Structure 1
Amino acid sequence: MTVADTTSPWIRQFAPSPEASSQLVCFPHAGGSASYFSPLTRMLPAAVEMLSVQYPGRQDRRHEPCCDSVAELADHAARALRPWADRPLVLFGHSLGATVAFEVARRLERDGIGPLGLVASGRRAPSRHREEFHHLSDDEQLLTQLRNLSGTESRVLGDEEIMRMVLPALRADYKAVETYRASPGAEVGCPVVALTGDDDPLTGVEEVYAWNEHTRGPCTVHRFAGGHFFLTPHAAEVTRLIGEYIAKWLASPPTAQ
């Protein structure tokens, strides 16, 4: 078995499991970090090892320049993941992370190491664009947007020093997702599973079902009670669902149409 390069600052491995038969790669939301997904590690089946992507400009990478485009994030993440492709990869992204994961999947497929599947959470399909300019807002407006989505613990939002450190990364992430435009006909060959909260102000039902326009494989949609961060209260259910899809794909690897 090929030994993966564990030195990349882009990849976090919270609980190494070299005997696992597949790897779930998690991509954070705007302003989020790799550690957002660490609680999921103990919920995953033993056969699935979790990797999490750490964007620059936050936590232990806070002194590095932020990336402010999806293309740049995807280029770096895809490059960092190539050494890990000795076992099947499944990409799982939430919000901004879903868009980055989609672009990473396209890059890995071009390299001949496409993922088993893509799980897109809390994000409309790549072709469903809305004009949004939160990245141009002042600091207080940006924080208000974050509070409205409940994407960060209230104690963190009330800590001025922490928020001052988070804001540059948050602004860069918003710019990345708000200026993203999918290439005409952009698609992946792997199956897509789209997850959404039924009260998410950022993602309408039609916008979620439109993910089926971006895969040559099957597309399945699952709706959960909650808003944009429905994933937090439904973590166990979402993790179980992903584990079931991974087992299904491993048993009968999907073939792109």
Structure 2
Amino acid sequence: MIDSEPDPRLWLRRYVPAPEARTRLVCFPHAGGAASYFHPIATALAPQTDVISLQYPGRQDRRHEPLLPDVATMADQITAVLATQEPLPTVLFGHSLGATLAFEVAWRQEQAGRAPVSLVASGRRGPGTTRDEAVHRLDDEGLLAEIRSMDPGNAALLNDEIMRMSLPAIRSDFRAAELYTLPGERRLSCPITVLVGDRDPKCTVDEAREWQEHTRDRFRIRVWPGGHFYLTEHASAVTEELRTAALVEH
């Protein structure tokens, strides 16, 4: 059963408190990812920026909770929980599935009169583009192989036991990402910045450029050498992009 009033204590992680911050960055993890992935960004940007990392149900300390079934349901829950926070100029940042979620949340916030000041989408094709993908239907070994193929440079470091424990959440997230379709024409009023690796098997540079169709404001794209998790190799540069978005865009 999905909570009608999501609990901010479950969803929102502030690894570095920033009570005097004048801007906010909300981080949306990738498929199978957890809030802790963004701990280094919180450390780098606080206390000037209030960095919130989202923790989706079904992973880490929320592993016993029901998984959310689709992007729309997830976006509804996240929008509701973010509405409980003190208003601040806010940048939404998502990687992979997180980019799609951030876009859908930005749309909902805009319709409610609480539009973000900027959206930063990473490693994800434009919301209107589609692929015939069915990774979520693979057996466990196939799903594990897919995960390793997206980050071959760090494949040897992935803990097999932990990955197998996380498979239900990973499969559910892949299903949400792969079955997502844009519900009608949607253009945000805020700027969109897109970050992508030039060898990303899940998002070509041309697919990343399709994000420009979904803003009425400025569009910018940054391309780095690397695959789907290019941001691991270019962590400092990505963090500086986010610092600029959080401190300058507003």
* TM-score normalised over the length of structure 2: 0.93
Cα distance between partner residues in 2 of 1:149 and 1:230 = 10
TM-superposition CA deviations, 1:97-132 (whole Å, max 9, x none): 000000000011111111010000000000111010
Secondary structure of the structure 1 residue equivalent to 2:232: coil
**Corresponding residue for 1:229?**
229
Cα distance between partner residues in 2 of 1:57 and 1:244 = 32
Contact 1:43 1:240 in 2 (8 A): no
Indicate yes or no: 2:168 matched with 1:158: no
Cα distance between partner residues in 1 of 2:99 and 2:227 = 16
Cα distance between partner residues in 2 of 1:8 and 1:46 = 20
Identity value in percent: 46
Bigger drift between 138-147 and 35-44 goes to 35-44
The 5-angstrom pairing of residues 126-137 of structure 1 reads 126-137=127-138
**Corresponding residue for 1:79?**
80
The 5-angstrom pairing of residues 181-196 of structure 1 reads 181-196=181-196
**Corresponding residue for 1:254?**
none
Secondary structure of the structure 2 residue equivalent to 1:83: coil
Cα distance between partner residues in 1 of 2:57 and 2:134 = 22
**Corresponding residue for 2:204?**
204
Cα distance between partner residues in 1 of 2:93 and 2:170 = 20
**Corresponding residue for 1:34?**
35
Amino acid in the other structure paired with 1:213:
E
Q: Could you say if the C-alpha distance between residues 80 and 7 of structure 1 is closer, same or farther in structure 2, counting changes exceeding 3 Å?
A: closer
Cα distance between partner residues in 2 of 1:104 and 1:158 = 33
Secondary structure of the structure 1 residue equivalent to 2:9: coil
Give the drift of 1:186.
1.6
TM-superposition CA deviations, 1:5-24 (whole Å, max 9, x none): 98431111111101011110
Secondary structure of the structure 2 residue equivalent to 1:195: strand
The 5-angstrom pairing of residues 54-133 of structure 1 reads 54-133=55-134
Bigger drift between 41-50 and 87-96 goes to 41-50
Bigger drift between 148-157 and 67-76 goes to 148-157
Contact 2:107 2:188 in 1 (8 A): yes
Cα distance between partner residues in 2 of 1:59 and 1:220 = 34
Amino acid in the other structure paired with 2:126:
A
Secondary structure of the structure 2 residue equivalent to 1:144: helix
Q: Could you say if the C-alpha distance between residues 14 and 45 of structure 1 is closer, same or farther in structure 2, counting changes exceeding 3 Å?
A: closer
Give the drift of 1:244.
1.5
Secondary structure of the structure 1 residue equivalent to 2:233: coil
Cα distance between partner residues in 1 of 2:201 and 2:54 = 26
RMSD: 1.7
Cα distance between partner residues in 2 of 1:201 and 1:86 = 37
Aligned length: 244
Cα distance between partner residues in 2 of 1:181 and 1:85 = 32
Amino acid in the other structure paired with 2:182:
A
Give the drift of 1:31.
0.5
Amino acid in the other structure paired with 2:73:
E
**Corresponding residue for 1:179?**
179
Give the drift of 1:45.
5.7
Give the drift of 1:225.
1.0
